[in-house]
C-alpha cells in the first residue's frame, strides 16, 4: 500500500511540474512555473532547503539528477528554451556549470544517459528535435514531449552463470511526442536514426520510460498519453514490439516511472492518484497499490492552469 512518508512545503509560488530524488535518496529537487529550481536535504525525514536556484526565465518543466560518479550534478529545462546544468562546487554551493540556449522552442524533457556512456544529456523540445551532443531533427511533428535512455547493458537472465563481463549495448533512446507516437532511436556512427515507430496512442504522448534491465531477458517501455492510457511495449529482440494496454484511466496520464528493479511501474495523472502496477506470472498487469491522498496538482508535467484546464499551447513556442 502506498503511504505518505513525508510532506514537504517547498515554498514554490506556482505549480510544481517535477520532483526528482537523487541516486542515494538523500536530496530532492523540484521545479516550478515560478521559474525556480529548489534542492532539499531529506535525509532521515528532514526537509531542509539546501539551494534555491535562479537561472530560468520561464516555467521549469523538468529536473534530473546525474549519476554521482560525476559529482552532484542536476539538469533543468524550461519554456525559456534553455537547459541548465547545475553543479555543487562545495557543500551547499551550487553554480551554473553549463547553459545551452540554442533550442528554437520550449525544452520539455531532459534525461541523463546511463553512467557507463559518460556524462551525456538528452533533451526533447517543442522544436521537434532531440539533442545529446548532436541534434536529431524532426523527431516528432509539432514537438517532442519526453525522452528516456535504453539501459547500457544487454538484458540477460539473473541466473546466467557465464563469466561476469560488461556487455554495453548500442546507444538507444525512446521519445514520445505530439504526433501521438512513441519512437525508438539508435546511434549509427555519428548520427541517430529512427529504428522503430510504435503507434497505439490516440493523443499526445506525455511520458516514456525504458525499464531497467536488472535480470530481465527482455526490453520493456512504458508510455502514457492524454488519451488516458498507459501502454507497456515489450520486446525480446528490439525488432518486434508487443503492446499491452495497462489500464484506461479517468483522466490524462502525465507520468510513468519504473522501480529500480524494473518490475513495478508507478503511474500518476490528472485523476489525482498515484498507483503502482506489477506484472503477474501470467503476463497480466495488476494494480498493487493506489494513493488518492496526493496533492491537488500531482508532481508531474502539467502546464499552468491545473489538471482540468489543459492548454497544449503553453508548452509550444
Please report, for the domain that includes residue 144, its CATH number. Answer: 2.130.10.10
Please check whether residue 59 lies inside any domain of the structure: yes
Residue 168 CB neighbours (<10 A): 12
91 within a domain of the structure (yes/no)? yes
Residues 65 and 211 in one domain: no
Domain that holds residue 16: 12-109
The verdict on 142 and 105 lying in the same domain is no
pLDDT at 283: 85
**Residue 77 maps to a domain:** yes
pLDDT reported for residue 306 = 35
Q: Which of 103, 187, 108, 172 is nearest to 146 (CA)?
A: 108
Q: Is residue 2 part of a domain?
A: no
- Would you give the DSSP letter of residue 168? B
Final residue before a domain boundary, out of 91, 109, 127: 109
CATH number at residue 87: 2.40.128
pTM for this predicted structure = 0.85
What pLDDT sits at residue 150? 95
Q: Are residues 90 and 145 in the same domain?
A: no
Q: Would you say residue 305 lies in a domain?
A: no
Look up residue 68 and give its three cell numbers.
554521482
Instruction: Say if residue 188 is in the same domain as residue 277.
Output: yes
Assess whether 206 and 244 both reside in one domain.
yes
Give the percent of the chain with pLDDT over 90: 67
- pLDDT-flagged residues of the chain (< 50): 158-159, 161-165, 295-317
In this structure, the number of other CB atoms found within 10 A of the CB of residue 154 comes to: 14
Do 196 and 239 fall into the same domain? yes
If asked whether residues 145 and 101 sit together in one domain, one would say no
- Cell numbers for 154: 544487454
Q: CA 125 to CA 147: how far, in whole Å?
A: 10
Same domain, 96 and 143: no
pLDDT of res. 313: 33
Whole-number pLDDT of residue 290: 82
Residues 67 and 204 in one domain: no
Q: Are residues 49 and 147 in the same domain?
A: no
Q: Is 38 inside a domain boundary?
A: yes
Q: How far apart are the first and last CA of the chain?
A: 41
pLDDT at 281: 87
Phi, psi angles (nearest 5°) of residue 70: -105, 15
Residue 247 falls inside a structural domain: yes
The whole-number pLDDT of residue 34 equals 96
Q: Are 36 and 49 in contact (CB under 8 A)?
A: no
CA distances to 105, 241, 275 from 245, rounded to whole Å, are: 32, 13, 15
Predicted local confidence at residue 294, as pLDDT: 52
Number of independent structural domains in the chain: 2
Q: Are residues 38 and 140 in the same domain?
A: no
Tell me: do 143 and 250 sit in the same domain.
yes
Work out whether strand 181-188 and strand 60-65 pair parallel, antiparallel, or are unpaired.
unpaired
**In this structure, is residue 297 part of a structural domain?**
no
Amino acid at each position: 500500500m502506498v503511504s505518505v512518508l513525508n510532506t514537504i512545503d517547498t515554498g514554490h509560488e506556482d505549480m510544481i511540474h517535477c520532483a526528482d530524488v537523487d541516486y542515494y535518496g538523500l536530496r530532492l529537487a523540484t521545479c516550478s512555473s515560478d521559474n525556480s529550481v529548489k534542492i532539499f536535504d531529506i535525509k532521515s525525514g528532514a526537509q531542509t532547503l539546501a539551494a534555491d536556484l535562479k537561472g530560468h526565465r520561464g516555467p521549469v518543466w523538468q529536473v534530473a539528477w546525474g549519476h554521482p560518479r560525476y559529482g552532484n550534478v542536476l539538469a533543468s529545462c524550461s519554456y525559456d528554451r534553455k537547459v541548465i546544468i547545475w553543479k555543487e562546487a562545495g557543500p551547499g554551493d551550487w553554480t551554473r556549470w553549463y547553459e545551452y540556449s540554442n533550442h528554437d522552442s520550449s525544452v520539455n524533457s531532459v534525461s541523463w544517459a546511463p553512467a557507463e556512456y559518460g556524462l551525456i544529456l538528452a533533451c526533447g523540445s517543442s522544436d521537434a528535435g532531440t539533442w545529446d551532443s548532436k541534434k536529431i531533427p524532426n523527431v516528432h511533428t509539432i514537438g517532442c514531449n519526453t525522452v528516456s535512455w535504453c539501459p547500457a547493458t544487454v538484458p540477460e537472465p539473473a541466473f546466467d552463470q557465464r563469466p561476469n563481463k560488461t556487455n554495453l549495448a548500442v546507444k538507444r533512446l525512446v521519445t514520445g511526442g505530439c504526433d501521438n507516437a512513441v519512437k525508438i532511436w539508435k546511434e549509427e556512427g555519428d548520427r541517430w536514426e529512427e529504428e522503430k515507430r510504435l503507434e497505439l496512442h490516440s493523443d499526445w504522448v506525455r511520458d516514456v520510460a525504458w525499464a531497467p534491465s536488472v535480470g530481465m531477458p527482455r526490453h520493456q517501455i512504458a508510455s502514457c498519453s492524454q488519451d488516458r492510457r498507459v501502454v507497456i511495449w515489450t520486446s525480446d529482440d528490439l525488432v518486434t514490439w508487443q503492446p499491452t494496454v495497462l489500464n484506461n484511466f479517468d483522466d490524462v496520464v502525465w507520468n510513468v516511472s519504473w522501480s529500480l528493479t524494473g518490475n513495478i511501474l508507478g503511474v500518476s495523472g490528472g485523476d489525482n492518484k498515484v498507483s503502482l502496477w506489477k506484472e503477474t506470472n501470467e503476463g497480466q498487469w495488476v494494480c498493487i497499490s493506489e494513493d488518492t491522498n496526493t496533492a491537488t496538482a500531482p508532481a508531474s508535467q502539467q502546464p499552468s492552469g491545473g489538471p482540468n484546464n489543459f492548454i497544449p499551447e503553453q508548452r509550444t513556442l
